Structure 1
Amino acid sequence: MTPTPLLGARTLDRQTARTLPPGPKLPTLVQTVLFAGHRKTFFPRMRAKYGDVFTIRLVPSSRVCVVLSRPEDIRDMFTTPPTVMHAGEGNQVLAPIMGAHSLLLIDDEDHARMRRQLMPAFLGNALRGYAGMIGELARADVESWPVGTPFTLHDRMRELTLEVILQVVFGVTDSTRLAELRPLVEKIVAVRPITMLAGFYPRLLKYSPWRTYLETQKRVDEILYDEIARRRTDNAGRNDVLSRLLAAGEWSDVELRDQLVTLLLAGHETTATALAWAFHELARNPSQLTAAQQAADAGDDVRLEAITKEAMRLHPVVYQVGRRVTETVDVAGYRLPRGTTIMAAIGLVHADPENYPAAGEFRPERFLSEDPPAAGTWIPFGGGARRCIGAGFTLLEATEILRAVLTRYDVHPVDPAPETAKPRNVTLVPSRGCEVIATTR
């Protein structure tokens, strides 16, 4: 398949530029810095100045990015045939890390085929099979929390969600292998934006820190390929994601490896951050904490899930998702040329008071009422044919971890002032790491 060329400095003519949505005239590098480091304030300012649809320019090649913030426009983006809206092409910066077969990097029939093979491992019966394993890992972890002493809960959540990936997704339970994998995988998931530049400039892979990252990745790959080989010969009675994938489809070793690394990178930091924001809010809302503890005691998974959903609404972990259009399309009243990058601004939708009354307040009850949020206004997992395949797994994992913590502890903030969001790679995390004090109930 021939890649769709980016619409940017080399391919955008003046006449077409005049038909694009309005946007800032700042230099591309300045806009890129604002987008990368300050998108939670940059996007609202652009919307206030230019309206619900605006254009920004980002590296490389001063590419044209049209940002959408109305649910109806984003719904059109998500429901446009995926052959027209390529998500994989928009994520190519991740190729050196996730691999060419990653579900996030492929389009059209390749994507449909891979998604069909992945789905059985993330549906109802399979998810219910993971709950016990996740709950056991969560309970074991929270028992070791410091009591009465400040600590950064985001770090603990990252350690715990990494353990879930290693044992529940990869299916690694051997203590020696886990001890070797943990520090290696921690380096892999700590990928920084500068590392991802190699997706645009492959020649960087010859130099440090890119070469060092690849060396770590190579050792992780060796272990994963060994696990895959073992599982192909002995997969009986196992309930982890890798085993279910092997049972559900025909995979090459490379395809499996790329999906496992994708699940690691897409599902580790995001889930940990969503949980950190949930506890950040519960620690500052005594009545919400009490209601959450009562739900945990009673096995009320619906309310525990609503807590996660509201945390993900109020504090979007991923602020936007993108597509690259493969042909000229009409979106939000504009005719956008082939090669345009379109971004759905999740954070703007979630913070819009037209979609959520008192949008700045933490109210899990929004998702429990007879009048829940309108369709298309809660989109942390994207939408359409590219909606995150691990959405159900994430909500299940968060529910089990919330239960394990809330049945054991009260959680208090070290500083009652809210923590701001700061960028960490592609996510927005609590600025102080969600500092809390846990006390035994």
Structure 2
Amino acid sequence: MTTPLLDTRTLDRETARALPPGPRLPMMVQTVMFARHRAWYLPAVRRRYGDVATIRIVPRGRVCVVLSDPVHIRELFAQPITTAHTGEGNVVLRPIMGDNSLLLLDEDAHLRMRKQLMPAFHGHALRGYRELIARLAVAEVESWPANQPFRVHDRMRALTLEIILQVVFGMTDGDRLDRLRPLLDRVVSVDPVIMLGGFYPRLLKYPPWRHYVGAQREADATLYDEIAARRVSPDLAGRTDVLSRLLQNGEWSDVELRDQLVTLLLAGHETTATSLAWAFHDLARMPDVMRKAQDGDDEYLEAVTKESLRRHPVIYQVSRRLAEATSVGGYELPRGTTVMAGIGLVHSDPAHYPEPDEFRPERFLGDNPAAPWIPFGGGVRRCLGAGFSLLESTEILRATLTRHDLRAPNPTPEPPKPRNVTLTPAHGCTLTASRRS
């Protein structure tokens, strides 16, 4: 049963007075500020209203309580699965990922789906992906132009898409791959405006939403062809890609498989590509740090990845919808409240990370005291692909930095720019690469 949103239709005056404080700007103004400038707007809200604040955004003035204190965020992540619904908090993703996406399910349905997915992303399975990731990464960085500016984010998106297609989808058919690459790129390059269809399904009948749905249907047709072929593949038992592992270890309908594959595509392609672009953005502007990373040490390369995810949160916040009234952050929040854990707010807090604007991978080395680091969320809803993402990033960093020196033609840092649910370098992380001697 869907939990009704707490919004202007369901919020009474007494409840409104008991909510945490927040800006009184018109709902559409707050929506635009949140959608387009969240990395500026949410810190400004925190400075003005404190660690627990209320904003109101689409649809219908939805009540969103934003948390920025790690203690309060842990309270949220520790809520029972019957109390804090992540799937309902991610409803904006429904037109892209589908009804069966792991990110859109709650309670028993989520636990059942997660249990079937877990074997493909743990232990032995992860180690088995390393060689293919490394080979694809080397092929990509060997093709980079020498001493000519290019947009690294574009190259990372192409590389992580290829990794998803081969490691996750297990696709090797050349014609089918050639058809699917541009279609999937259109599917994951969704504008925040398109995502409004998650709240207003009637929009999907009109352009530009209708055009997006058309591209999605073309991509789906190719994915369903691949799923059908894989089900009867004579070598299914010997394959190690994620799709084949899912078919070997679970009971799946074609629609369920499609929704999980698209979820893994969006969650594991765009986010990893963006975090890598930010890592290269900072390394190119800090030659001393880049030289340390060029030694290819696993621990340091992983620390580079973690510091990039801290300094440039790709996903700035994650949401839960309260299925029942509960206490979070010192407030009794009513049923239907959307509660946002401010990942970017925690990672930029000098109380946890001194001089937070500095890029320092050493924060994540050795015996340094653990600070709150939550780019993959937390609790039972922590990102299933966290280990895969760190492995992938480490191998791509190694392939790149052992072969190239990077330089930023413009030393001025690039500001973040919203792209679907992520925050990317505004100019695509424009760099030059020169081969190391």
User: Given the two structures, how large is their TM-score scaled by the length of structure 1?
Assistant: 0.97
Where 1:359 maps in the other structure, the secondary structure is coil
Aligned AA (2:373): W
The match for 2:369 is 372
**TM alignment of 1:28-67, pairs within 5 A:** 28-67=27-66
The match for 2:225 is 226
Is 1:321 equivalent to 2:306 in the alignment? no
Q: Decide which of 358, 381, 384 is 1:361's aligned counterpart.
A: 358
2-side partners of 1:440 and 1:384: how far apart? Answer: 43
2-side partners of 1:351 and 1:208: how far apart? Answer: 38
The match for 1:3 is 2
2-side partners of 1:415 and 1:326: how far apart? Answer: 49
2-side partners of 1:196 and 1:250: how far apart? Answer: 30
Is 1:410 equivalent to 2:405 in the alignment? yes
1-side partners of 2:170 and 2:398: how far apart? Answer: 23
1-side partners of 2:254 and 2:180: how far apart? Answer: 19
Where 2:7 maps in the other structure, the secondary structure is coil
Aligned AA (1:302): E
**TM alignment of 1:196-207, pairs within 5 A:** 196-207=195-206
The match for 1:347 is 344
Where 2:417 maps in the other structure, the secondary structure is strand
2-side partners of 1:240 and 1:77: how far apart? Answer: 34
Which stretch shows the higher mean deviation, 192-201 or 36-45? 192-201
**TM alignment of 1:131-142, pairs within 5 A:** 131-142=130-141
How far the C-alpha of 1:372 sits from its partner, in A, is 3.3
User: Given the two structures, how large is their TM-score scaled by the length of structure 2?
Assistant: 0.98
The match for 1:393 is 388
How far the C-alpha of 1:236 sits from its partner, in A, is 3.2
User: Where does structure 1 differ by over 4 angstroms across 4 or more consecutive aligned residues?
Assistant: none
**TM alignment of 1:33-432, pairs within 5 A:** 33-234=32-233, 235-294=236-295, 296=296, 300-374=297-371, 377-432=372-427
Where 1:44 maps in the other structure, the secondary structure is helix
Where 1:56 maps in the other structure, the secondary structure is strand
How far the C-alpha of 1:174 sits from its partner, in A, is 1.6
What stretches of structure 2 of length at least 5 have no aligned partner?
A: none
Which stretch shows the higher mean deviation, 210-219 or 120-129? 210-219
2-side partners of 1:25 and 1:212: how far apart? Answer: 36
2-side partners of 1:433 and 1:373: how far apart? Answer: 31
Percent identity of paired positions between Structure 1 and Structure 2: 65
1-side partners of 2:16 and 2:214: how far apart? Answer: 43
1-side partners of 2:192 and 2:311: how far apart? Answer: 24
2-side partners of 1:372 and 1:397: how far apart? Answer: 25
How far the C-alpha of 1:266 sits from its partner, in A, is 1.3
Where 2:102 maps in the other structure, the secondary structure is coil
2-side partners of 1:118 and 1:201: how far apart? Answer: 30
- Contact 1:307/1:364 (<8 A) preserved: yes
What stretches of structure 1 of length at least 5 have no aligned partner?
A: none
1-side partners of 2:225 and 2:346: how far apart? Answer: 44
Aligned AA (2:381): R
2-side partners of 1:407 and 1:401: how far apart? Answer: 10
- Contact 1:411/1:437 (<8 A) preserved: yes
Superposed CA offset, 1:279-305 (max 9, x none): 0111011110000001x1xxx212111
The match for 2:431 is 436
How far the C-alpha of 1:204 sits from its partner, in A, is 1.6
2-side partners of 1:159 and 1:188: how far apart? Answer: 14
Superposed CA offset, 1:136-192 (max 9, x none): 111111111001101110111011111111111111112111111111111111111
- Contact 2:237/2:248 (<8 A) preserved: no
How far the C-alpha of 1:371 sits from its partner, in A, is 2.2
- Contact 2:20/2:331 (<8 A) preserved: yes
**C-alpha RMSD of the superposition:** 0.9
- Contact 1:356/1:373 (<8 A) preserved: no
Aligned AA (1:139): V
2-side partners of 1:372 and 1:40: how far apart? Answer: 26
- Contact 2:189/2:419 (<8 A) preserved: no
- Contact 1:139/1:404 (<8 A) preserved: yes
Aligned AA (1:422): K
Aligned AA (2:302): E
Report how many aligned residue pairs link the two structures.
434
How far the C-alpha of 1:83 sits from its partner, in A, is 1.1
Aligned AA (1:378): W
The match for 1:12 is 11
1-side partners of 2:320 and 2:76: how far apart? Answer: 8
- Contact 2:156/2:277 (<8 A) preserved: yes
Superposed CA offset, 1:250-298 (max 9, x none): 111111110001011111111000000000111011110000001x1xx
- Contact 1:103/1:115 (<8 A) preserved: yes
Aligned AA (1:415): N
2-side partners of 1:113 and 1:322: how far apart? Answer: 21
